[in-house]
């Protein structure tokens, strides 16, 4: 079986120091980078810390930077990347240990954009609502976000100012703004119009490039700019 080298940037929180560790990892044509990390944990070094859960690109917890690119490691084959493989924790987030970052700031942003359906009457939430195919088309892509935060690791605006609401949360805002079951449109447009919201995006577009689920946050943010500008002009 061929093997390759994983070079991992690590952080020791007790000593406050960064260092790198290297490991030889065997792989086959279907071995993912996550499987390689699990191999290291199981057979080579139990002290290595990283997050994962579903192993099937659904939970969003295994985001890391691989060869300088924000990557979901459970859906990336070792065979598909340049070797040796250099792995770092997600950029733009505080590091807790090794490849584990603190995601509180992102969770706060999800809360801020109210990432759930809002109805005027709470009892409405028990009812069934039909979403027509053409209505679903509008929110299908933005609904695919798995909160992996790769887009935040790739975003230079968030990297220079963590106040920016950022790509995933704005894509989610767009999604609820267009959800026919939601009744908080004006509140959502107000959030889109804030100075740390859509207008702060400088259209670099790397969020869209790195998204593992085909969401296009860059497009959604530009649409939010148009919606909030028109709303401000005509209200």
Q: Could you tell me the smallest distance in angstroms from the CB atom of residue 147 to ligand FES?
A: 10
Does 77 contact ligand FES by CB under 6 A?
Answer: no
Q: How many residues belong to the chain?
A: 235
Query: Which of these ranges, 60-68, 96-104, 123-131, 178-186, lies near ligand FES under the rule CB under 6 A?
Result: 60-68
In the list 60, 70, 89, 166, the residue contacting ligand FES (rule: CB under 6 A) is 60
Does 55 contact ligand FES by CB under 6 A?
Answer: yes
Query: Which of these ranges, 57-65, 105-113, 167-175, 220-228, lies near ligand FES under the rule CB under 6 A?
Result: 57-65
Does 50 contact ligand FES by CB under 6 A?
Answer: no
* Residue placing its CB nearer to ligand FES in the complex, 113 or 146: 146
* Residue placing its CB nearer to ligand FES in the complex, 54 or 136: 54
163/108 Cα distance (integer angstroms): 11
Does 72 contact ligand FES by CB under 6 A?
Answer: yes
Does 61 contact ligand FES by CB under 6 A?
Answer: yes
Q: Which residues bind ligand FES (CB under 6 A)?
A: 52-55, 57-62, 72, 74
């Amino acid at each position: 079986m061929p093997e390759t080298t994983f070079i991992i940037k690590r952080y020791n929180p007790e000593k406050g120091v960064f260092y790198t560790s290297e490991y030889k990892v065997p792989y086959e044509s279907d071995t993912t980078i996550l499987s390689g990390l699990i191999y290291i944990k199981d057979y080579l070094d139990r002290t290595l810390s990283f997050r994962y859960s579903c192993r099937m690109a659904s939970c969003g917890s295994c985001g890391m930077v691989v060869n300088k690119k924000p990557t979901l490691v459970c859906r990336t084959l070792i065979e598909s990347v340049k070797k040796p493989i250099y792995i770092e924790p997600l950029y733009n987030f505080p590091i807790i240990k090794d490849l584990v970052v603190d995601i509180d700031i992102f969770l706060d942003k999800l809360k801020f954009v109210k990432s759930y359906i809002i109805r005027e009457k709470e009892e409405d939430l028990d009812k069934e609502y039909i979403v027509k195919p053409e209505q679903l088309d509008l929110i299908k892509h933005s609904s695919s976000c798995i909160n992996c935060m790769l887009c935040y690791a790739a975003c230079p605006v968030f990297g220079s100012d963590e106040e920016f609401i950022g790509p995933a949360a704005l894509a989610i805002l767009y999604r609820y703004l267009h959800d026919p079951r939601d009744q908080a449109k004006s509140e959502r447009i107000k959030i889109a119009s804030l100075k740390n919201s859509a207008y702060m995006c400088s259209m670099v577009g790397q969020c869209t490039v790195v998204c593992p689920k085909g969401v296009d946050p860059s497009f959604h943010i530009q649409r939010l700019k148009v919606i909030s500008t028109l709303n401000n002009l005509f209200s």
